[in-house]
Amino acid sequence: MGLFDFLSKQFVDVIDWVDQPGTLAARHPMEGREIQNGAQLTVRDGQIALFYREGQLADAFHPGLYTLETGNLPVLSALLNWDKGFASPFKADVVFFSQKEQSGLKWGTAQPITVRDPEFGPVRVRAFGSYSFRVEQVPAFAVKMVGSLQRLTVAEIEPQLRAAIATAIAAALGGGEVAFADLAGSQAALSDRLKVAVDPAFAQWGLVCTSFYIESLSLPEEVQAMVDKASAMRAAGDPDALARFQAATAQPDGDAAAQIEKLHRLLTIGALTQEEFDAKKAELLGRIR
């Protein structure tokens, strides 16, 4: 490689980025290089390019083709004291951001959420679904999520987003204002309600949740079995079915023996199976050991 070839590689005259699926931000390789006066900048649809000077945000470029000069770099020009234009190469960091919608992402409750159902009392609920988002406020996203990283992908921030979703869902469902049966019966309305709860968490990072869906809402198997049994008893005209269900699923009040006695009565009258009685008894005893 000749001296001229070596020197020519120290300057940048074309700046662009072809975004890859799942990539939210990428820093243009600038280490040891300077941008030529009159360099060409290409910002494709769905992208925004930000220029930084010594860590300070300078100028932003939306989709289009630009020839870099004093006129379209007003902030950078002020930072470099270009009062009469410039002709020499200059140093700056360029970071590209994708504002395309990131769809088909999954969320779920790693642990059941305890919901105080107005009808059945405390029940543990699991929920799963999908969501999508995009970068809305690029400067906020750049500061809070990207920082000095060379590249940031959806996979790298997904755990943070799923944790925020789980927290929002726990807060939204924990109030016990709506019965579980009504929640499960109107998943579209519940999806809209939970999206409203999720939105503030995403907004703090410069993101917007563009869609949010609940695909599954369920109780633990043993609780669902009790709910089904209580429903069947009430359908058969048993007015005490709900009271017995609540007694069987209630949190212990400090007297495990009394709780077990109640469960045994339910076993005796056929409201619980032997397996259900044994499981609940073991759970109560386990809490006081």
List pLDDT tens digits, range 101-148.
999 999 988 887 777 766 666 777 888 999 999 999 999 999 999 998
pLDDT for res 254: 47
Residue 169's nearest CA partner among 84, 106, 107 is 107
Cα 46 to Cα 148: distance, rounded to the nearest angstrom: 22
> Higher-confidence residue: 203 or 182?
203
DSSP label of 92: -
**Does pTM surpass 0.75?**
no
Q: Could you tell me if 37 and 86 are in contact, meaning their C-beta atoms sit under 8 angstroms apart?
A: yes
Residue the block writes with tokens 């995009």: 134
The yes or no reply on domain 102-139+148-218 and CATH 3.30.479.30 is: yes
- Delimit the domains of the chain by residue range: 3-98, 102-139+148-218, 221-288
Q: How confident is the model at residue 265 (pLDDT cuts 50, 70, 90)?
A: low
Cα 19 to Cα 44: distance, rounded to the nearest angstrom: 9
Identity of residue 288: I
pLDDT for res 266: 64
Q: What is the mean pLDDT of the chain?
A: 80
Mean pLDDT of 248-260: 58
CA 43 to chain centre: 28
